[in-house]
Amino acid sequence: MRLLKGLEDGSVDAVDARILAEDLDPVLLYIIVRYLREVYPATDPAASPVLERVLKLTSTYPKMVEKSKAGEQDPVSRWFESESSFRDFRGRADELIELIIDKLET
């Protein structure tokens, strides 16, 4: 949650975001990045700061892209995308993260 909230509200810089992301399961990293991109579409001017922070994380640290792509291919990510929508969790990111963690642990 700290990475998601930090990218969302700017409370973490790119270095701290990288450190947090390195410790995450690839699925969680993918879910966080995808969630932010879905909930904050580029067409929304208010989304610019959020998307800039996501872009800075992924463009400054190419290993984050590789890790996220690995998470995208995971069965848990595929399950989520077939059953749910990221936008359904707008304002409820903590529930999204809990759902994914529960699924990863089973």
Long-range CB pairs of 85-90 (<8 Å, 24+ gap) are 85/38, 86/34, 86/35, 86/38, 86/39, 87/38, 87/39, 89/35, 89/39, 90/39
Q: Give the confidence band of 72 by pLDDT, cuts at 50, 70, 90.
A: very high
Rounded Cα distance between 96 and 92, Å, is 7
What is residue 12's predicted lDDT score, i.e. its pLDDT?
92
pLDDT, tens digit, 9 for 90 and up, residues 13-24: 888 999 999 999
Give me the residue spans of the domains in the chain: 2-105
Pair of tokens at residue 63: 């290993």
- pTM of the entire predicted model: 0.93
- Angle in degrees, CA 59, 37, 95, rounded to 5: 120
